[in-house]
A and B are shown apart, each in its own frame.
Chain A
Amino acid sequence: MKQENSKNIIKLIRGGDQLVLRKIYDENREAFIKFSRKYNIEKYDAIDIYQDAIIVLYENIANGKISDLNSKVSTYLFAIGKYKIFQMHRDNSKVELTNEFFLEDENVYLDVNLYNEKLTNQQDLLNKYFSQLGNRCKEILKLFYYEGYTLDEIINILNYSDKKVLKSQKSRCMRQLKDWIKKEL
């Protein structure tokens, strides 16, 4: 992707534009599968890793770690993917690794870990009750905790009259969750 275009891409991805995501996905997929083959990764696993790499890319864009795509999208994807491949080999220790792989060496500074940790009891409950929240609550919490928007930005996105209203709405959502969990404990 060209430099002048990268801000737009980020904006579109943050805005949830699936066409852009799809395009990025399609554009790099074949090359990534080919790339994985060098590391003895079967196609099926390669696709799984590739999807995780896309998720990592998405999240790092969402939380502002990547605010400008200095490198090409593919550079990020391949660096993340390579990291995941090394991780997988290390975990399975099928292949003797001749050297460790560090993302920093590729000039990519990202959070790359997904799915690893098990949920604690409280997290399990939160998981259960989050899905029972109303859509408005879910939307606010998602935008704030996942998409990385500030409350000031959310005011505009969700059309709130002012920050106070949004803040009290958000705290009502949280109180609801806490009440539900309290009943379980």
Chain B
Amino acid sequence: MKPLLHILFALLLATLQAAALRWLGGGSFSLMLPVACIVYLAIHAGNVEGTVGAAGVGYVLDHSLGTTKGLMTFLAVSVFVAVRALNAAVDVRGRLGFAALTATATLVMSISAALLVQMAAPLEVAPGLRLVPRMLLEALLTGVLSPAVLLGMKRIDGLFRREEPGLLR
């Protein structure tokens, strides 16, 4: 149930993001807010639910970005694994750390997607390195807005928290 809610939240984020970008700049810049969900899952969720949730969020990204099916799903799970590994080594706490991690993950996903498309797709449809500044801006903006996503994900997790009687906090 929880991964499904995470995926639906990611879908909601993608929808809001698309509607907001329509009014803010009309597409002159872009966002990848669902990546913040993947980072959150990598830090806070369990292995199974996190992996499933990340794959679902990746599918949402595939859908919202219009990429070839499987690309963002694969990258979402990859980022999930990478962030989880990083989180095991470095304790990421606070909004600032979350934002930095989200921005980095967004940039990595964008560049990886571009490289994979260059490998697999015909050359004329593959995005080139000219898009790197745009990717940087996208990562930066996504990182800036990610604390809001963090709050939303925490709220969803709060729905599933059980109070254990007699437990002192």
A joins B in a complex: no
